[in-house]
């Protein structure tokens, strides 16, 4: 066992920490800040901040330098994620592009795509959305119906996507489209890179239980996309999507721990303010939540080790997803138990603002749905890890 | 970053697993389990433990041991849990730890060499019935007598009290502190009672001391007792994750082949999802035990928290996995003939040994809420 990072990695940490200290406005560190600015304005702030961060040398941490990345180690990426969480840095405006699309383009994109996509993404000139889910195709993604018909050197796209995160701010979509008419299931699908700023694409916001509208539905009516804007080859969309989703696997648990642990400490602080921190039943419930968070941290170190050793994580990412999402959600169930009726108002006593935690509590209801629901993850673990019959 | 066992540690695990599979499988365990009048201490097995160096892992090299850490020891404890292995390994190793941590050079020489060689079976007696695994749970008091300390009180349950030739007894001292004493259970002022236990993979006894003489470990105090309880908790947690993994693996194997309604029952989604969750839980418990063992070895600042997390998590995983083993075998899982109850009963005992879930959760709460 050696749970330390290398001296170079620690040097990177202290430099990054210094930069974050100097470059995150004090107001932003207030947990309530992002709710005080209008959605559009907040998005632009994040978009701009992230671009400046890239210009300061902190973009694409583990990407090869030829793509504008830093060429860093997996350990540096883990440190980067952790420091961003600890500093309460703004959430990425381009998370889906940076996490999923960019590494896929690096792996299988054409030279033109590599040039066109990666640089502008790093500078946040193009914000990417993931257009996978449809009204009739959620967990069963292969049931998707949105169609693309070739017309000269362009596809004409018709259909609908839904739950599209950031669609109201997005510039382009990487979308799964059925380009072979009459095809079924995994066959005949292509991943098309669709410009959202055209008459045939309309995004309508959807309001979430938290009140925010982070996702939207997207309608395609004879939308057009160049045939060259197909990633991974025509008809290979399913394979491309599976590769793309595999890039979620990393050591993100280390930063998630930092975020969730802060949630735990804030919940404890709120309980103390309301004189509930001595209730023996609730103390044990809180402690059992911390057990799961600590396990997430240990698990993240295990995952990072696997990545550093060059091992294929395979279906292990389903285990990671189950652990973090369930632990996170249950932590906020305890938040409700702990505060009882006082937890239903945003400010039960003077100087105690619970709004951010309440917002987060609603958010945790979504984490067991997106990115593969908990039920789907359990199917994967049972069938692919444990070898139980389908 | 290297969060994993080394090649050597993996090899140790494999050797232990292979030996047990070859030479002390569940048929052998059953023989001990059902021989309720026997001492539960198969001589063959103990000899092998000594020959393989499994009693010497934590004994320093200067005392003829191997001088490894808790991380290595937990590899063995896990293998013993997986095999539901009987014998006084854990109490002997922990008694050795007490002597290593707090004994005089002479005591270390007298105890640790023979212990590492398998010539001395020892045990620890740290708690009174109903007590918790800390200072407050100690039920023996020490008084200064003319010829040394005199110990009076009860410790129970004590693993392999009937076989041990030396017991490390925790006692409250006149100044309010805690001392650890080497006591000979065969001395006339000590009564050893055999306790009837449903877990036939071990033997338990009670120690009643009535002015017994004890040889104090000079460096012992409340902190050493706490350290000993921590080490006991880590090794117990390792045994529990071994149990949990064995219970889960056996259940999966069975449910892949047991057919009802024309299909393997392991294909029913309720069973699949329960077993998937269990796999995640057992895996997390395995990570937690690794981390805790390392945290104690490396004296990390969060070692105390890590030990409590590991014990609570491992206990939970083992309890759920062994209960699932019975449930998802159906009627056969509820029979005496089936091995499910070995794991279930062993887990039930160990879940409460060196602190039950409540005790550890209270500690976690104190460390994270009151700090
Ligand atoms: C906040 C948020 C953001 C999102 N962002 C995006 C995005 O940017 N782009 C995008 O493409 N999608 C996005 N999604 C959509 C997300 O991927 C889907 O919601 C998800 O795949 C589930 O699909 P569904 O909503 O159709 O539910 P369904 O698949 O209809 O599921 C309904 C219920 O049935 C269960 N279920 C389904 N199949 C099985 C099975 N085989 N066995 C057992 N239970 C099953 C599910 O677990 C769920 O509980 C987002 C969703 C949310 C909540």
A268 and A358 fall within a common domain: yes
Residue A222, Cα to own-chain centre: how many angstroms?
Answer: 30
> Which residues of chain A lie closer than 8 angstroms to B252, CB-CB?
386-388
When divided into structural domains, chain A yields a total of 3
- In A, minimum Cα distance to B294 occurs at A1
- For residue B141, the CA-to-ligand 1 centroid distance in Å is 62
CA of A374 to the centre of ligand 1 (A): 10
| Domain B7-116 CATH class label | mainly alpha
State the pLDDT at residue A249: 60
- The CATH number given to B122-220 is 2.40.110.10
Query: Residue B183 gets which letter from DSSP?
Result: E
Same structural domain, A252 and A225:
no
Q: Concatenate the DSSP letters of all residues of A260-299 into one string.
A: HHHHHHHHHHHHHHTT-TT-HHHHHHHHHHHHHHHHHHHH
Does residue B133 contact residue B105 with C-beta atoms inside 8 Å? no
Same domain flag for A254 and A365: yes
Whether B269 and chain A come into contact, CB under 8 Å, resolves to yes
Which residue is catalytic, options A248, A285, A292, A333? Answer: A248
Residue-wise burial string across A142-177, b where 16 or more C-beta atoms lie within 10 A, e elsewhere: eebebbbeeeeebbbbbbbbbbbebbbbbbbbbbbb
Among B69, B54, B23, residue whose Cα is nearest residue B292: B69
CB contact under 8 A, A386 and B252: yes
| The residue to which tokens 């721990």 are assigned | A257
Q: Is residue A367 part of a domain?
A: yes
| B262 Cα to chain A: minimum distance (Å) | 13
Range of the domain at A327: 248-385
Same domain, A229 and A254: no
Beta-bridge partners for B60: none
Q: State whether A309 and A195 are in the same domain.
A: no
Ligand 1 centroid to Cα of residue A371, in Å, is 8
The yes-or-no answer on residue A248 being catalytic is yes
Which ligand 1 atom lies nearest to the CA of residue A140? Answer: 29
For residues B347 and B318, the answer to whether their CB atoms sit within 8 Å is: yes
Q: Which of A184, A211, A235 is the last residue of a domain?
A: A235
Handedness of CA B81, B85, B87, B89 (dihedral sign): negative
Residue A257 and residue A345 share a domain = yes
Residues A231 and A253 reside in one and the same domain: no
User: Which residue lies with its CA nearest to atom 26 of ligand 1?
Assistant: A138
The token pair at A336 is 């409700």
Cis upstream peptide for A122 (omega within 30°): no
Judgement on whether residues A266 and A329 belong to the same structural domain of the protein = yes
Neighbours of A340 (CB within 10 A): 12
- State which of A235, A261, A280 marks the end of a domain: A235
Q: Is residue A113 part of a domain?
A: no
Are both A151 and A182 inside the same structural domain? yes
Residue A234: both structure tokens together: 């025509």
- Whether A191 and A235 have beta carbons less than 8 Å apart is answered as no
Q: Are B309 and A291 within 8 A, CB to CB?
A: yes
- Give the chain A residue whose CA is nearest to the CA of B370: A277
Instruction: Give alpha helix (H) positions in chain B.
Output: 7-23, 26-34, 43-52, 70-82, 89-102, 105-116, 222-257, 269-297, 303-327, 340-351, 357-365
User: What is the residue with the minimal CA distance to atom 5 of ligand 1?
Assistant: A165
CATH code at B223-370: 1.20.140.10
**B16 in reach of chain A (CB within 8 A):** no
User: How far is Cα A206 from Cα A17, in angstroms, rounded to an integer?
Assistant: 36
B275/A388 CB distance under 8 A: yes
Residues A307 and A381 in one domain: yes
Contact B273 A382 (CB under 8 A): yes
Domain assignment of residue A242, yes or no: no
- Window 176-235 of B: residues touching A by CB (8 A cutoff) are none
User: Would an 8 Å CB–CB cutoff place B369 in contact with chain A?
Assistant: yes
Task: Please identify every stretch of chain B with a pLDDT value under 70, giving residue numbers as ranges.
Answer: none
Per-residue pLDDT of chain A (390 residues; tens, 9 = 90+): 999 999 999 999 999 999 999 999 999 998 889 989 998 999 999 999 999 999 999 999 999 999 999 999 999 999 999 999 999 999 999 999 999 999 999 999 999 999 999 999 999 999 999 999 999 999 999 999 999 999 999 999 999 999 999 999 999 999 999 999 999 999 999 999 999 999 999 999 999 999 999 999 999 999 999 999 999 999 999 999 999 998 876 558 899 999 999 999 999 999 999 999 999 999 999 999 999 999 999 999 999 999 999 988 888 899 999 999 999 999 999 999 999 999 999 999 999 999 999 999 999 999 999 999 999 999 999 999 999 999
What residue's CA is closest to ligand 1, atom 1? A366
Q: Do A347 and A300 belong to one domain? A: yes
Q: In terms of Cα–Cα distance, which of B158, B138, B160, B243 is closest to B207? A: B158
Which residues 305-364 of B are in CB contact (within 8 Å) with A?
305-306, 309, 312-313, 358, 360-362, 364
Nearest to B356 by CA among B303, B304, B296, B314: B314
For B180, the 3-state DSSP assignment is: strand
Size of interface A-B (CB pairs under 8 A): 143
Q: Are strands B263-264 and B166-172 parallel, antiparallel or unpaired?
A: unpaired
> Does residue A313 lie within any of the structural domains?
yes
Q: How far is B360 from chain A (nearest CA, A)?
A: 9
CA distance A204 to A219: 8
- The domain spanning residue A275 has which CATH number? 1.20.140.10
Cα B102 from Cα B97, distance rounded (Å): 8
Q: Where are the domains of chain B?
A: 7-116, 122-220, 223-370
- Tell me how long chain A is: 390
Among B284, B290, B369, the residue with its CB nearest the CB of A323 is: B284
Give bridge partners of residue B166 from the DSSP assignment. B122
The DSSP string of B116-137 is: HTT---EEEE---TT--SSGGG
Task: Decide: A9 and A73 in contact? Cβ < 8 Å.
Answer: yes
Interface of B with A in 107-166 (CB under 8 A): none
Which residue, of A93, A113, A140, is where some domain finishes? A93
Output DSSP code: residue B149.
E
State phi, psi for A76 to the nearest 5 degrees.
-65, -35
Q: Are the CB atoms for B168 and B123 separated by under 8 Å?
A: yes
Q: Are residues A139 and A224 in the same domain?
A: yes
Distances (CA, A) of B334 to B31, B86, B315, B326: 19, 22, 21, 6
- Ligand 1 contact, A379 CB (< 6 A): yes
- How far is the C-alpha of B234 from the C-alpha of B331, rounded, in Å? 34
Contacts of A192 (CB under 8 A, 6+ apart): A148, A155, A157, A174, A175, A177, A179, A225, A229, A230, A231
**HSE (CB half, 13 Å, CA atoms) of B19?**
20
Q: Report in angstroms the alpha-carbon separations of B37 from A175, A328, B15, B28, B367.
A: 71, 50, 31, 16, 44
């Amino acid at each position: 066992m050696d749970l330390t990072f290398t001296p170079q990695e620690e040097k990177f940490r202290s430099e990054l920490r210094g930069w974050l200290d100097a470059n995150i406005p004090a107001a932003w560190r207030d947990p309530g800040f992002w709710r005080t600015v209008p959605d559009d304005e907040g998005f632009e702030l994040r978009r701009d901040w992230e671009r400046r961060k890239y210009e300061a040398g902190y973009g694409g941490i583990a990407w090869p330098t030829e793509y504008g990345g830093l060429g860093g180690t997996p350990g540096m990426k883990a440190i980067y994620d952790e420091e961003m969480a600890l500093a309460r840095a703004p959430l990425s405006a381009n998370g889906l592009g940076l996490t999923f699309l960019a590494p896929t383009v690096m792996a299988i994109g054409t030279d033109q795509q590599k040039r066109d996509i990666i640089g502008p993404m790093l500078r946040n000139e193009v914000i990417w959305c993931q257009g996978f889910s449809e009204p009739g195709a959620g967990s069963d993604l292969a049931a998707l119906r949105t169609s693309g018909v070739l017309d000269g050197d362009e596809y004409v796209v018709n259909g609908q996507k839904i739950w599209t995160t950031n669609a109201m701010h997005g510039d382009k979509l990487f979308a799964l489209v059925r380009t072979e008419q009459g095809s079924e299931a995994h066959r005949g699908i292509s991943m098309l890179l669709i410009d959202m700023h055209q008459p045939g694409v309309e995004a309508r916001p959807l309001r979430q239980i938290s009140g925010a509208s982070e996702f939207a539905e997207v309608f395609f009516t004879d939308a057009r996309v160049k045939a060259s804007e197909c990633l991974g080859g025509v008809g290979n969309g399913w394979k491309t999507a599976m590769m793309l989703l595999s890039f979620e696997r990393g050591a993100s648990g280390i930063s998630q721990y930092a975020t969730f642990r802060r949630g735990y400490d804030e919940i404890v602080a709120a309980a103390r303010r309301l004189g509930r921190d001595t209730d023996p039943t609730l103390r044990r419930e809180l402690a059992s939540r911390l057990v799961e968070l600590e396990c997430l941290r240990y698990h993240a170190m295990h995952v990072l080790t696997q990545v550093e050793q060059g091992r294929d994580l395979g279906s292990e990412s389903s285990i990671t997803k189950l652990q973090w999402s369930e632990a996170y959600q249950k932590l906020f169930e305890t938040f409700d138990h702990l505060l009882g009726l006082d937890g239903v108002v945003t400010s039960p006593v003077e100087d105690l603002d619970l709004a951010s935690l309440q917002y987060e509590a609603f958010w945790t209801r979504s984490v067991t749905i997106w990115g593969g629901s908990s039920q789907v993850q359990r199917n994967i673990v049972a069938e692919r890890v444990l070898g139980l019959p389908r | 970053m290297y969060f994993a066992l080394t090649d050597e540690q993996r090899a140790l695990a494999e050797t232990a697993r292979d030996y047990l599979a070859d030479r002390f499988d569940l048929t052998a365990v059953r023989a001990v389990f059902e021989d309720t009048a026997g001492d539960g201490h198969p001589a063959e097995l103990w000899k092998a433990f000594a020959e393989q160096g499994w009693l010497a892992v934590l004994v320093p090299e200067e005392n003829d041991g191997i001088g490894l850490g808790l991380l290595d020891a937990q590899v063995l404890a896990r293998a013993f849990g997986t095999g539901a292995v009987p014998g006084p390994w854990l109490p002997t190793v922990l008694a050795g730890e007490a002597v290593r941590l707090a004994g005089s050079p002479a005591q270390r020489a007298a105890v640790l060499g023979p212990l590492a060689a398998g010539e001395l079976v020892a045990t620890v007696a740290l708690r009174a019935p109903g007590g918790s695994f800390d200072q407050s749970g100690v039920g023996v008091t020490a008084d200064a007598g003319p010829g040394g300390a005199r110990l009076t009180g009860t410790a129970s349950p004590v693993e392999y009290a009937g076989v041990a030739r030396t017991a490390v007894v925790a006692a409250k001292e006149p100044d309010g502190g805690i001392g650890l004493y080497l006591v000979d259970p065969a001395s006339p002022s000590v009564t050893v009672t055999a306790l009837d236990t449903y877990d036939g993979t071990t033997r338990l006894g009670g120690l009643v001391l009535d002015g017994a003489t004890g040889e104090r470990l000079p460096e012992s105090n409340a902190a050493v007792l706490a350290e000993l309880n921590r080490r006991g908790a880590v090794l117990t947690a390792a045994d529990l994750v071994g149990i949990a993994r064995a219970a889960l693996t056996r259940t999966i194997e069975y449910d892949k082949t047991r057919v009802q309604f024309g299909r393997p029952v392991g294909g029913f989604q309720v069973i699949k999802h329960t077993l998937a969750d269990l796999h995640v839980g057992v895996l997390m418990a395995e990570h937690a035990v690794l981390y805790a063992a390392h945290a104690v070895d490396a004296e990390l600042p969060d070692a105390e928290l890590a030990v409590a997390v590991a014990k609570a998590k491992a206990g939970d995983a083992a309890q759920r996995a062994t209960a699932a083993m019975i449930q998802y075998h159906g009627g056969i899982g509820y029979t005496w003939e089936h091995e499910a109850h070995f794991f279930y009963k062993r887990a039930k005992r160990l879940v409460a040994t060196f602190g039950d879930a409540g005790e550890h959760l209270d500690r976690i709460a104190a460390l994270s809420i009151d700090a």
